[in-house]
Amino acid sequence: MLLVGKPWIPVYDNNVDAFIPELWANESLMILVENLIAGSLVYRDFEPVLAAYGDTVNTRRPADFDAKRKVVADSVTVQDAVATNVPVILDQHIHTSFLIRDGEESKAFKDLVDEFLRPAVISIARAIDRIVLGQYVNFEAASAGNLAGLTSTTVRPAILNLRTKMNQNKCPLQGRSLILNPVTEGTLLNLDILQAAYAVGDDGTALREASLGRKLGYDMYMDQNMASVLAGQTTAVATVNNAGGYPAGTTTMTVSGLNLTAANFQVGSIVVIDGDGSSQTITALTGGPPYTGMSISPGLNAAVANSANITTVVKGTINNAAGYPAGYNKEIAITSMTPPPQIGQSVSFTNDTTNTYTIIDVDGSVGIILDRSLVNAVANGDNVHLGPAGNYSFAFHQNAIALVVRPLAKPKAGTGALSAVVNWNDLSMRVTITYDGNKQGHLVTTDILCGIAVLDKRLGGVLYG
């Protein structure tokens, strides 16, 4: 693959100097492009203007127009073509570094790429996909399916239900993607209509490659980074307390068994209710203490019966004396949670109840890294509320989310660092090579600077299952 508009340096096995940064940068960007799934499907905002971590740039949400009616004598109605600016902080500086020790540097460049560079850049692609897919928590107002699981009988109706909700939100038909977790993809592949070559007209590709292609109005992809949260975490249970139960759409209900002492049911707690099977966040508690009522968002997808279980994962707490300020985006220390939090699991905090995040990495049972920076500060001892177990798939239109990328500056001349920056296909990759005298080897750092922003919550939805 040739990076258009960029100098291309031919690579031979017998290159005298394998540590040419342009070689590494070009190869890095090619590997990144090859391995991005979700990151390649959203809107990408790119300008070849150098930027630094923490800079704020503006991307644009397209304007909506309304068709007008006129008669022969009327003038046309002129509407302002105004696109809304959406500020995005470049707070995602993602890097992977590795050391090529003396002796290994004699290997051909191709061998160094296979052994070191490819795994390093794949880790960056994985991080970007987790960040993009982690935005599913912002689109749960339009959802379908059931966290208790989908079957070959229920999966098709669930996807069509989600399609209907996105249609009602006036999401454009073209440009929709549905990113499936591995479990839901496996369920879909069991459908005869998706397997039979004569039915799908793909010459058998679906059967040979387990590729779903475009089905039911979505370009379907399986991504191993899409959230699949295993059951088994310790939970607390309350129950619905209303003789007639509650219909779909309900946002306020009477409940019993809220355990005030354990404080697992609080504003910000994420719950799932039997019969509904969707992820709900408690927005208010009433009637107590002890509390006898709660409000939830976004509201029930399906009717629930009296005495239906309301389940939440037992809370943890922030474990850092100084807490964490707004804008913090590195590891957040928590009290040991057993079993530990999981990648892809949603999370909220006591002092940040208006925001839900997604965990993109974990440090055993004592630390989590989120999909984006904290919007509000959290204090030591604040509760950590985790989302329910289940499989999550994410449907979105390209314009639902923006991945904003800007090039990083090369190190200053004279610092002893070799560096190159390559821009292509609305992405930018920097590679920096230095020699570490203590560790006796070349330190190679690949990095990218980006930010993530939700442009329009009407243009996406979540499939539970």
Q: Do 336 and 380 sit in the same domain of this protein?
A: yes
Last residue of a domain, one of 388, 415, 430: 388
Domain count, the chain: 2
Q: Kindly tell me the burial class for residue 68, based on how many C-beta atoms sit within 10 Å of its own C-beta (0-12, 13-18, 19 or more).
A: exposed
- Boundaries of domain holding 361: 315-388
In 3D space, the residue among 431, 393, 402 whose CA is nearest the CA of residue 21 turns out to be 431
Last residue of a domain, one of 388, 415, 442: 388
Q: Residue 447 and residue 433: Cα distance in Å, rounded?
A: 12
Q: Do 441 and 360 sit in the same domain of this protein?
A: no
Q: Do 352 and 433 sit in the same domain of this protein?
A: no
Q: Residue 125 and residue 34: Cα distance in Å, rounded?
A: 9
Last residue of a domain, one of 325, 356, 388: 388
422 within 8 A of 428, measured Cβ to Cβ: yes
For residue 75, the model assigns a pLDDT of 84
120 within 8 A of 445, measured Cβ to Cβ: no
In 3D space, the residue among 259, 280, 249, 274 whose CA is nearest the CA of residue 348 turns out to be 280
- Whose tokens are 């509390």? That residue is 291
Q: Do 421 and 335 sit in the same domain of this protein?
A: no
For residue 106, the model assigns a pLDDT of 78
For residue 243, the model assigns a pLDDT of 97
For residue 288, the model assigns a pLDDT of 76
Q: Do 366 and 326 sit in the same domain of this protein?
A: yes
For residue 17, the model assigns a pLDDT of 57
In a domain, 234, yes or no: no
In a domain, 204, yes or no: no
For residue 356, the model assigns a pLDDT of 96
In a domain, 341, yes or no: yes
In 3D space, the residue among 37, 135, 138 whose CA is nearest the CA of residue 344 turns out to be 135
Q: Do 382 and 417 sit in the same domain of this protein?
A: no
Q: Residue 291 and residue 134: Cα distance in Å, rounded?
A: 32
In a domain, 195, yes or no: no
Q: Residue 388 and residue 276: Cα distance in Å, rounded?
A: 13
Q: Do 346 and 429 sit in the same domain of this protein?
A: no
What is the pTM assigned to this prediction?
A: 0.89
Query: Which CATH number is 340's domain given?
Result: 2.40.30
Q: Do 413 and 454 sit in the same domain of this protein?
A: yes
Q: Do 381 and 442 sit in the same domain of this protein?
A: no
Q: Do 32 and 105 sit in the same domain of this protein?
A: yes
33 within 8 A of 427, measured Cβ to Cβ: yes
pLDDT < 70 regions, the chain: 1-18, 62-66, 80-83, 193-211, 259-262
